Amino acid sequence: MERIPILKMGNFLLVTIQMEMHDRLAMTLQDDLTERIVQTRARGVLIDISSLELVDSFIGRMLRDIAAVAMLLGAQTVVVGMKPAVAITLVELGLTLRGVRAALTVERGMEMLRASMPESLLASMKKTPRKA
Amino acid sequence: MGTKTEFVDKIVSREKDLLDDWMKEQLAAVTLRTDLLSEADLRRQSTELLSAFIESIRPGIPQDIKAPECQHLVGILRDITRMRLEQGFSVSEVATFVLSLKQPIFRVLYDKDTTASAEQLWHMGTYIDRLGLHCTELYQKGREGIIARQQQELLELSTPVVELWEGVVALPLIGTLDSARTQVVMESLLQKLVDTNATMAIIDITGVPTVDTSVAKHLIKTVTAARLMGADCLISGVRPAIALTIVHLGVDLSEITTKATLADALDVCLRRNGFAITRVDQK
């Protein structure tokens, strides 16, 4: 069965959705991600949807649910790279993804996650030089 | 399906007289517009139309202008109508051009030895009326086409997105927001966010005359969409009257940062991005 890979980067988990999303895949991702957050004690989840052309209400809800679940497990979620057409579709569907943070690029999403981490956690992470 | 009668033959055989009579009629009419159309052009159009008309009734008077024998005539009518629309003729002038054909034809049918019955005349009359009506329809369609094109142009003209500062884009809105326009505005704003990699967007509504519930709904939609793309969206240019209306209508804009002027909004954006503007001291 196909799965969406979940990469671990320090205290964060990176999910890049590269294939056409369908409902089964979305459910599996949700389950896998929840498992991994607990396993790795991740503090942040970054979901890159820059190659998603189509988002329906189910996928939209999944994004919102993932954010809510991650929050319960003590991790923040940032969705990055949403296409304009996708954003318009979600708004028209009435899915405003309240509670989900968004960024335009992976780079900025990472910055956002880092900025919201407490200093002690950052120090324990493998340091990448931060922009002044 | 038409009724083939000898009076049709009569019209066919007297095409030349008919044309002269018709031309005389048109030149004497009060609706003549020599300022828009020269006599030579009028004669050319009349000749063309009359010969197509005669061709169409040769098998009998058509019941319907969609019949295949009318296609040539309808094509000519379309060209003439389009041309006259561009030249600035009014709709009644265009229709009169076709309807004025009635009198010469009736005169041909009613000279010396009348053979046409009332019923045949009636058929002929209805046929010409249909052609006239078709003309008005074509004219109207042409007008609607112009209006639609202008609307499209207006839509494109009125939604520029400008880059105000590094990472800050602004969208000065002019005119009311309806759903079609919101779509265009949203698309261009979001595309600009992608192109410039901006984190802040300002929608300036100084040029929006009124904000009612539907306009507010569209504004909220746009702000939400920008938020989904990772950009914070502010609304500026809220005039006192508009602020009052928003409150009276009970529209909830509490989730959106609003400012009175574009300058204030820009200031917020700069601060959030870590910029500060200071006056250079010149003592």
Domains of chain B: 6-155 (1.10.490), 162-272 (3.30.750.24)
pLDDT tens-digit profile of B43-68? 888 888 888 888 888 887 887 888 88
What is the pLDDT, as a whole number, of residue B112? 64
Average of pLDDT values for A100-111?
91
More confident of the two residues B11 and A28: A28
Query: B191, A84: Cβ pair inside 8 Å?
Result: yes
The span from the CA of B62 to the CA of B21, in Å, is 24
Q: How confident is the model at residue B189 (pLDDT cuts 50, 70, 90)?
A: very high
Q: Does residue A132 form part of some domain?
A: no
Distance from the Cα of B259 to chain A's closest Cα (Å) equals 23
Contact between residue B29 and residue B96 where contact means Cβ atoms under 8 Å apart: yes
Residue entry with tokens 């309806």: B178
From A88, A103, A105, residue closest to B225, measured CB to CB: A88
Report pLDDT digits (tens) over B72-111.
888 998 999 988 888 888 888 888 888 888 888 888 877 7
pTM over 0.95: no
Interface touch B228/A97, C-beta < 8 Å: yes
Nearest residue on chain A to B189, judged by CA atoms?
A84
- Are A102 and B229 inside 8 Å of each other by CB? yes
Residue A115 belongs to a domain with what CATH number? 3.30.750.24
| Alpha helices (H) along chain B | 6-13, 15-28, 39-57, 71-87, 91-99, 102-109, 118-157, 179-196, 213-228, 240-249, 262-272
Q: What percent of chain B has pLDDT over 70?
A: 95
Interchain proximity B221–A97, CB inside 8 Å: no
Q: Which chain B residues in 167-186 lie under 8 Å from chain A, judged by CB atoms?
A: 183, 186
Distances (CA, A) of B174 to A11, B156, B160: 47, 12, 10
- Find the domain containing A118 and state its range: 6-124
Distance from CA of B133 to the nearest CA of A (A): 43
Count Cβ atoms below 10 Å from residue B242 Cβ, excluding itself.
19
Least Cα separation, residue B268 to chain A (angstroms): 19
Question: Is residue A1, in this structure, part of any structural domain at all?
Answer: no
- Count CB-CB contacts under 10 A for residue A117: 18
3-state secondary structure B170-217: EEEEECCCCHHHHHHHHHHHHHHHHHHCCCEEEEEEEECCCCCHHHHH
Within 8 A of A93 by CB-CB distance, chain B residues are none
A102 vs B183: CB contact, 8 Å cut-off?
no
Residue-level pLDDT at B202: 95
- Binary contact (A104, B225; C-beta < 8 A): no
| Chain B residues inside the 8 Å CB shell of A96 | 224, 227-228
Q: Between A84, A92, A108, which is nearest B190 by CB? A: A84
DSSP reduced 3-state for B88: coil
Size of interface A-B (CB pairs under 8 A): 55
**pLDDT tens profile A51-103:** 988 888 888 888 899 999 998 998 999 999 999 999 999 998 888 888 789 99
Q: Which neighbouring-strand residues pair with B200?
A: B168, B232
Q: Do the domain assignments include residue A26? A: yes
HSE of B3, CA atoms in CB hemisphere, 13 A: 12
Enumerate residues 78 to 97 of chain A having a beta carbon within 8 A of any beta carbon in chain B: 79-80, 82-84, 86-88, 90-92, 96-97
In the structure, how many helices (H) and strands (E) does chain A have? 5, 5
Beta bridge partner(s), residue B168: B165, B200
Residues on chain B touching A79 (C-beta within 8 angstroms): 228
CA distance A31 to chain B (A): 24
The answer to whether position A59 is within a domain reads: yes
From chain B, the residues in CB contact with A108 under 8 A are 199, 230
Interface predicted TM-score (ipTM) of this complex, two decimals: 0.77
In a domain, A111, yes or no: yes
Q: Which residues in chain B have Cβ-Cβ distances shorter than 8 Å to A109?
A: 230
Provide the pLDDT confidence category of residue A131 given band limits of 50, 70 and 90: low
Q: Which of B205, B151, B211, B160 is nearest to B180 (CA)?
A: B151
Q: How many domains does chain A have?
A: 1
Residue B236 · residue B264 · CB < 8 Å: yes
- The answer to whether residue A74 sits within a structural domain is yes
Chain mean pLDDT for chain B: 86
CA distance B149 to chain A (A): 25
Sheet hosting strand A101-103, strand order edge to edge = A6-9, A12-16, A44-48, A76-80, A101-103
Query: Looking at the complex, does the CB of residue B160 fall below 8 Å from at least one CB of chain A?
Result: no
* DSSP code at position A15: E
CB proximity A17 to B under 8 Å = no
